[in-house]
Amino acid sequence: MVGRTLNSRYELEQLIGTGGMAEVYRARDNLLGRTVAIKILYPQFAKDPVFVERFRQEAQAAANLNQPNIVNVFDWGIEDNTYYLVMEYVEGRDLKDIILLGGPLLPERVVEISMAICLALDTAGAHGIVHRDIKPQNIIATNDGQIKVMDFGIARAAGGSAMTQTGTIMGTAQYISPEQAQGRAADPRSDLYSLGVVMYEMLTGKTPFDGDNPVSIAYKQVREDPLAPSLLNPDISPELESVVMKALAKNPENRYQTAMEMRSDLERCLEGAPVYATPVLSPDDVTRGQTQAYVGGERRPRGRRRAGWFWALAIVILLAGIATGAWAIIRSSSGVAVPNVVGQKRADAETLLARKGFKMNISKTVIDATKPKDTIISQNPEAASKLEKGGTVKVVVSKGPELVTVPSVIGMSQSEAEAALTKAGLVPGEAQQAFDAQAAKGKVVSQSPQAEKQVAKGATVTIVVSKGQETAIVPDVTKMSKDAAVTRLTEAGFQADAQTVASSTDIEGIVKSQNPAGGQTAPKGSRVTIDVTAKPERVAVPNVVGIVRATAESTLTGTGFVVTVVDQITSDTTKVGKVLVQNPTGGTMADKGSTVTITVGVVGP
């Protein structure tokens, strides 16, 4: 394959990877002059018309995913039954290599990577795309530390109906969700389960489940509970462990419902704040939930022990319920209902709470791209709860989106500009093309928003790339009238410079010649000189007989004639150097620009 050019455009340079469905090549896009990655599907997939149609639909959908943490899909096509995807070429290492070579990652780095993956999954979900194959091999850490998720849409196109196709597990068994392992439909929450597996592996160096074959691993995904990751890595905080275990819930309803919900809990981990995920506790402390990890790898109680635990815990729950109900009754009889201030501006919320007799305390402010600055994100106690007058309502206030400065990309190539914008946390929009006489072809000539402007992180920046100076074919305007020639050149995008040439033989007012000549290519807006014929002016020929040669020539050329000199020997020394004869004779009317011949006397040998 190396050396082959696809679609007369993409030249395959080097094989850089292989997978279950395709080979990946580094290639050169000869049209745009950039390096790309091309995924070429194996021939057996090209023979399945159902797969081909899904591949086409998903490739087009994936091409619409424009987000800094997603490896962009630029193009797709087919040539000689070879189906291929053209993707962004990313220099870096996948997470699998990083974990294998360096072992578990620092928890803080795991949180940062996972937050970036959540942003990618959120964008995919908004476009109706389920990845279905989230795994460390599909997550790239670039050389500058950025995280990018690749292969969006491919797993879905190959998987079609959930995770199976003709009895074969699609996706990697260690990372598929329980519903995928059971052949049920996958949704965005399935990708969050797979992300939970990836987080588990980043934190411990191991996947939650492993086995001798994919079937045994898939069985464990459905039936067994994972060992608490903190037993393998004590540096994992309880909050982070709770996030991982919530993502690994067997029932999708018990997981995070959206990628941004999971990202919010991860952000709380980073800030040291409590998370919404249920803490992981031992069975001695609380009943096991849907995805309870047992400390020390304890197994579920069996037989009488299970029954004993059941009745003991049932009694505890019953007593707790009675106590909670009694407390609710007591509280309901006193206090004032707390108003709902979520979504309100800070000043308005404070005013409303004060009017109801409450104080407001800002517990923290957080960056939130979805909420305007100074907007209340959450409150405690919640709305409608009873609180004694004078009590304090704690609120979390949005700082608004994280702001970044738009870098100047004027004068850069398109790939350089897109890389600079992505590095700044911005999303390069679809590049527009425009002719520009001043900028070299392929260079950015304008951008919106402009450089140095403060915008929300993740905002889109549109660039205009120069197509170079526009050229056109110069029309042939010879033998046209002056006016017709000027009109024709103007319509073609050129400026006409007309100059007159005298001609006694040509029709007056006709273009005799032009420069550049017709048929040549020239920059639009450049000048084309046209020579327009005109009848010569009639003037009297000066009489120069008897005048010295130099004076005669000066007089004739000054009148507009061309002078030709003929020497004639004379024995009269007084006539040496003087005009003896001229033709036409002095006083004759002749065309200006015509030739006057003078005969000048010279000394003989």
Summarize pLDDT for 244-264 with one digit per residue, the tens: 999 999 999 999 999 999 999
Residues 527 and 552 in one domain: no
Q: Is the pTM of this model over 0.85?
A: no
Compute the distance between CA of residue 593 and CA of residue 579 in angstroms, rounded to an integer.
Answer: 20
Residues 364 and 329 in one domain: no
Residue 39 clears pLDDT 70, i.e. is over it:
yes
Residue 58 clears pLDDT 80, i.e. is over it:
no
Give yes or no for a contact between 374 and 283, defined as CB atoms under 8 angstroms apart.
no
Residues 241 and 345 in one domain: no
Catalytic residue among 29, 133, 368, 436: 133
Residues 105 and 252 in one domain: yes
Residues 460 and 506 in one domain: no
pLDDT band at 306; cut points 50, 70, 90: very low
Q: Which of 28-32, 311-315, 347-351, 546-550 has the lowest mean pLDDT?
A: 311-315
pLDDT band at 417; cut points 50, 70, 90: very high
Q: Print the domain residue range for 372.
A: 336-400
Most confident option among 126-140, 352-366, 426-440, 573-587: 573-587
Domain end position, chosen among 428, 446, 466: 466
pLDDT at 334: 57
Percent of the chain whose predicted confidence (pLDDT) is above 70: 87
pLDDT at 287: 43
Q: For the chain, report the end-to-end CA distance as a whole number of angstroms.
A: 89
Give yes or no for a contact between 248 and 226, defined as CB atoms under 8 angstroms apart.
yes
Residues 580 and 503 in one domain: no
Residues 141 and 269 in one domain: yes
CA distances from 461 to 174, 419, 429 (A): 39, 12, 5
Q: Verify whether residue 368 is a known catalytic residue.
A: no
What does the pLDDT average to over 399-412? 90
Residues in the annotated binding site for ATP? 39
Task: Please count the structural domains in the chain.
Answer: 7
Residues 525 and 413 in one domain: no
Q: Which of the pair, 102 or 309, is modelled with greater confidence?
A: 102
pLDDT at 297: 39
Residues 481 and 448 in one domain: no
Residue 156 covered by a domain: no
Residues 377 and 352 in one domain: yes
Q: Which residues contact 195 (CB under 8 A, 6 or more apart)?
A: 114, 117, 118, 121, 134, 247, 262
What does the pLDDT average to over 388-413? 90
CA distances from 546 to 49, 550, 598, 604 (A): 103, 12, 11, 19
Residue 162 covered by a domain: no
Residue 157 covered by a domain: no
Residues 345 and 395 in one domain: yes
Residues 10 and 68 in one domain: yes
Residue 154 covered by a domain: no
Domain end position, chosen among 359, 380, 400: 400
Q: Which of the pair, 160 or 453, is modelled with greater confidence?
A: 453
What does the pLDDT average to over 319-339? 54
Name the residue among 96, 77, 97 with its Cα closest to residue 87.
77
